[in-house]
Structure 1
Amino acid sequence: MSHNNSIGNYLIQRLLELGVNHVFGVPGDFVLGFNKLLENSDLEFINTCDEQGAGFAADAYARLRGLGVVCVTYCVGGLKIANTTAQCFAEKSPVVVISGSPGINERIKNPLLHHKVKEFDTQYKVFQEITVAATVLDNPDTAQSEIERVLTAALRYKRPVYIEIPRDIVHLELNETGGEKPSTRTDLNNSTASLNIHLNPSIIANSSNPYALKEALEEAVKLINKAERPVILAGVEIHRFKLQDTLLKLVKKTNLPVAETLLGKSVINEMHPNNLGIYE
């Protein structure tokens, strides 16, 4: 049976298209099938000493490249990166957490499988609290749209997401019936990275309202023009959305002074005449 159109290979292909070249993690039996697909792909798997190190490495990679990936096994590996994922959420770092898990057919009659903590979805519930989007790919009919939904959220909100793949699902072929494959084009090393996906209901619901955006911009301009001593407070979002050049253009045009938040440090050159330094 060919696995070229499998759920696992589709996820790998999407990561490659989004500019990811390396995946950090530690293998384990519940994720070995996906690990083998990684081994045979153009993604380079970096086997770290432990899962927490993999999580921090993926975080650093995301901050530098625009999207990072950590791949671990179920519970014994997954729960070890809860802390690194929570850090990504707090500091707006887009990391894709990929975890293997027991097969759907292994869960019948609730057997006592190794590394299971409480229920089969315990790890999923934990990661729902520390990611901006989470999914379990347990249905070939929805796997493609779920992968697109979650990856879109990571890029849109610059926060971590969670994808769990039961080990008997990895090699199943996609069985989408919802129209043509979404198309995402991004250059993660480009300051004008853009995301273009064929709209589906979940993405439409998260799109900016152009009228609300226009109103917000007009209100911001009025407030700045009315202010006696306006100051720009630049946050970490300038880093994550690669808006440094846009900020510099605004500063050059308005001559407004700029203070940086602690996480926003270095969004503007410390020697720039308009830089006030760190505000905390």
Structure 2
Amino acid sequence: MNTAELLIQCLENEGVQYVFGLPGEENLHILEAIRKSRIQFVTTRHEQGAAFMADVYGRLTGKAGVCLSTLGPGATNLMTGVADANLDGAPLVAITGQVGTDRMHIESHQYLDLVAMFATVTKWNVRLVRPSIVTEVVRKGFKIAQKEKPGAVHIDLPENIAAMEAKGKPLKRDKKEKNYASYESLNEAAAAISHAKNPLILVGNGAIRSDASSAVTELATRLNIPVANTFMGKGAIPYTHPLALWSVGLQDRDYISCGFDRTDLVIAIGYDLIEYGPKKWNPDGTIPIVHIGATPAEIDSSYIPTVEVVGDISDSLTEILRRCDRQGKPDPYAIGLRSEIRSDYEEYINDESFPIKPQKLIYDLRQVMGPDDITISDVGAHKMWIARHYHCDRPNTCLISNGFAAMGFSIPGAIAAKLVYPERKVVAATGDGGFMMNCQELETALRMGTPFVTLIFNDGGYGLIEWKQKHQFGDASFVHFGNPDFVKMAESMGLKGYRIEKTSDLVPILEEALVQEVPAVIDCPIDYRENLFLSEKAQNIHCQT
């Protein structure tokens, strides 16, 4: 066999089901090896879409998603999705074709030093310079990609190496061993929690990656501690739980900010600083923090834990609970905050004004989606509203990119979600800006038989930037554009197309679209005047001390 065939055998050994990508001259041997394997190659319409699909596959399964491109422009197109996975903590392995090693010392067609290029957006990356190292490189790559904190790995395969004869067999996968926190740190954390008067739990994506949501919920329930989640920590505790204070992370102050103002201890569980900077909730660095995570705390002047509990999160929470003698009740003010947050959430339930307000749209979407169904948010103004108002019973049912936060994420991500969970309803929630960045992947969705709904928040511009411009300067510039007829566009691709023409249409159209056998697109005009109203409301939030 040749090197490419051995590479694909190694991918099969790692349990790879799909490789997302585009064909190219320099990856022909890899494609031929995939054709002869058990792996399904998903031909995408853009390399960025391939990387986003691998990204979301990794988030939902915990196993590295794999994407493939050719050299040069194929690899540069792939890079955005690779960076997104790396900063958002999603395991991903990217493979690129490359010129032969005999052409790297001279100026060559489409040649870039891809190892140097991918160095800044991966945990590890390497060029395969001889056939004999393939098995070690693949095993190491998957191990690094999937190790906490997960991220991206890049493997570069020159075409002459791919064609060379190779010997060897895939290396045995090692068992994932749990790491346990020290008794000293567990005792110190339990003591700090037991003595705190108004503790507050801040839970992030690390708790979801570690499958620790049940342990988080039990700790909060038995110790009577309110819980706020980051955008990427949704579902770590059911939103219906009486101690759930829902999402924190808006750049403006929000009701939950008052909880941080009053707390005398933040218990940060699986919290990644990249999700919501600590300077937003601990600007002076004065709030004591207990850090509970699979990895040590990142360095930040506003995030200096008094105790670090580093190890398996579920085990750590169970052990802390055993050691705690906390008898206190939650701060009545924090529980009152929940009532204010819920009232704000329900304010627009019966609002029939049109264009539809984002609060109403998201409330209705939540009513249509079941507890296991998946909403994937693109990036834009709608992301802020989804983060604030779309609440989850279970982990990984609302995916938001809030590390790299790349536009164009939702449609490719929805394809991957539907491949992983074909029985679930999936909605790609996107602005019209983000939609036009990767709408070509709807053809991929149709071809792959992955029906989901793309819900377009249509405002004819880059709404989030307009929001920030008006908030900061009082006016907006360079943010408006025209759109095609999204319904006709969908129909021309063999999809179902719908347009919301009055607010009462939304629920029945969503229900109809979600049972179609082909992907569906819903064009929904949105009233983004609510953006500035939210900013004004945030400025007028006054907290009790």
The TM-score normalised by the length of structure 1 is: 0.79
Is 1:65 aligned to 2:61, yes or no? yes
Displacement of 1:57 in angstroms is: 1.4
Percent identity among equivalent residues? 29
Is 1:275 aligned to 2:244, yes or no? yes
Paired letter, 1:140: P
* Structure 1 CA distance for aligned equivalents of residues 170 and 11 of structure 2: 15
Displacement of 1:215 in angstroms is: 4.0
Instruction: Answer yes or no: is the 8 Å Cα contact 2:123–2:151 preserved in 1.
Output: yes
2:77 maps to which residue?
80
Within a 5 Å distance, the mapping from 1:196-211 to structure 2 comes to: none
Provide Cα deviations, 1:203-261, integer angstroms capped at 9, x if missing partner. xxxx96x6x74444333333222322222211111222332233234334433321101
The TM-score normalised by the length of structure 2 is: 0.42
Q: Flag the 1:252–1:97 CA change in 2: closer, same or farther, 3 A.
A: same
* Structure 2 CA distance for aligned equivalents of residues 213 and 125 of structure 1: 39
* Structure 1 CA distance for aligned equivalents of residues 223 and 165 of structure 2: 55
2:128 maps to which residue?
137
Larger CA Rg, structure 1 vs 2: 2
Of 92-101 and 138-147, more deviation after overlay is shown by 138-147
Displacement of 1:138 in angstroms is: 0.9
2:33 maps to which residue?
37
Q: Which has the higher contact order (CA 8 A, sep 6+)?
A: 1
2:172 maps to which residue?
183
Paired letter, 1:148: R
* Structure 2 CA distance for aligned equivalents of residues 213 and 12 of structure 1: 41
Instruction: Answer yes or no: is the 8 Å Cα contact 1:144–1:174 preserved in 2.
Output: no
Q: Flag the 1:215–1:12 CA change in 2: closer, same or farther, 3 A.
A: farther
Within a 5 Å distance, the mapping from 1:109-124 to structure 2 comes to: 110-117=105-112, 122-124=113-115
Provide Cα deviations, 1:81-100, integer angstroms capped at 9, x if missing partner. 22111111221111111111
Is 1:235 aligned to 2:204, yes or no? yes
Gapped runs of 5+ residues in structure 2?
250-545
Provide Cα deviations, 1:164-203, integer angstroms capped at 9, x if missing partner. 1111222445567xxx964226xxxxxxxx526xxxxxxx
Instruction: Answer yes or no: is the 8 Å Cα contact 1:7–1:144 preserved in 2.
Output: no
Displacement of 1:73 in angstroms is: 0.6
Provide Cα deviations, 1:129-175, integer angstroms capped at 9, x if missing partner. 11111111112343322222221111103111111111122244556
Taking only aligned residues, the RMSD between alpha carbons, in angstroms, comes to: 2.4
* Structure 2 CA distance for aligned equivalents of residues 233 and 174 of structure 1: 50
1:189 maps to which residue?
none
Paired letter, 1:170: A
Number of positions where the alignment pairs a residue of Structure 1 with one of Structure 2: 247
Give secondary structure in 1 for the equivalent of 2:142.
Answer: helix
